[in-house]
């Protein structure tokens, strides 16, 4: 029961109705017997600064940040942890004694799910990452920290991809990064060299979305990771048809959420319950 003592956490995004985070987090909070409630807030991009200020005004304990606000919120926070500072993207905010601290738990969610659940070891591998927005920044940062051999980055906005690559090189001068023009032939030739392909764009999230790359670019030595979790994307369908290993972003969502839960509450997150609730909700939606 919600009372005057109930603490509020939640998620901001635009749109937000598709978010599965409330299902996971409210189940986890109840299981942990914490007097918290997790609420989704739809925040128009023009209202982000006002929404961040409201975290303090309303005494909200913590907020997850999703598309398209992960980069925008950075400039309105009081402090960033090291990873968020490096990639300039935040997916978790903690209101700590009136100071808003930004974290990026997507990095932990991606790398842990890739290695522990996907069984893929990225060290000394060549990787192609499609996208340079908030999710892509977490993916690239995690892979650089894991010491991949080479990273290809491509985005429909080539200038943004170049700016991000330069930012990564500033902090990791030894990283072997190449920005690939949004050109089918160039992308195909670079993917040929890779053992891992990551779609870190929103393409595939909606029914009717096309595959973000030509399906013929998928080769037998490739592991395909799509950060999208709410549906079976065209990319994953083609990967399964080709018989290559692949996974979606469901485990990444659970693990990043679990880390955020622990930041806000100081309690160990019930990860298995969070995953169970997510998968149940996804099944119902289908």
Alpha-helical (H) ranges within 45-157 are 48-57, 82-87, 106-112, 134-145
For 242-264, the DSSP string reads: HT--EE-SHHHHHHHHHHHHHHH
Q: Tell me the C-alpha to C-alpha distance, in Å, between residue 186 and each of 82, 148, 182.
A: 33, 21, 8
147 token code pair: 């010491």
76 token code pair: 């309105």
144 token code pair: 């650089």
Q: What SS3 class is residue 44?
A: coil
Out of 70, 96, 192, 280, the active site residue is: 70
Q: What SS3 class is residue 152?
A: strand
115 catalytically annotated: no
Which neighbouring-strand residues pair with 152?
Answer: 128, 178
Catalytic residues: 70
């Amino acid at each position: 029961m919600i009372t005057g003592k109930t603490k509020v956490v939640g998620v901001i995004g635009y749109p937000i109705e598709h978010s599965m985070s409330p299902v996971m987090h409210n189940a986890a909070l109840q299981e942990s017997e914490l007097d918290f409630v997790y609420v989704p807030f739809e925040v128009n991009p023009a209202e982000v600064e006002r929404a961040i200020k409201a975290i303090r005004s309303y005494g909200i304990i913590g907020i997850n940040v999703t598309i398209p606000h992960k980069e925008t919120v950075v400039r309105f926070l009081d402090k960033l942890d090291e990873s968020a500072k490096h990639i300039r993207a935040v997916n978790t905010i903690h209101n700590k004694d009136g100071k808003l601290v930004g974290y990026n738990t997507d990095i932990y969610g991606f790398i842990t799910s890739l290695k522990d659940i996907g069984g893929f070891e990225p060290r000394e591998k060549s990787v192609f990452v499609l996208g340079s927005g908030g999710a892509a920044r977490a993916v690239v940062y995690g892979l650089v920290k894991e010491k991949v051999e080479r990273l290809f980055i491509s985005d429909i906005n080539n200038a943004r991809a170049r700016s991000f690559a330069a930012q990564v090189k500033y902090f990791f001068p030894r990283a072997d990064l190449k920005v690939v023009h949004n050109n089918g032939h160039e992308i195909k030739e670079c993917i040929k060299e890779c053992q891992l392909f990551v779609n870190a764009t929103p393409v595939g999230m909606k029914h009717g979305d096309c595959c973000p790359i030509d399906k013929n670019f998928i080769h037998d030595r490739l592991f395909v990771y799509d950060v999208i979790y709410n549906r079976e994307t065209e990319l994953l369908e083609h990967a399964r048809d080709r018989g290559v290993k692949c996974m979606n972003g469901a485990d990444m969502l659970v693990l990043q959420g679990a880390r955020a839960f622990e930041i806000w509450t100081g309690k160990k997150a019930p990860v298995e319950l969070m995953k169970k609730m997510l998968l149940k909700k996804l099944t119902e939606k289908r």
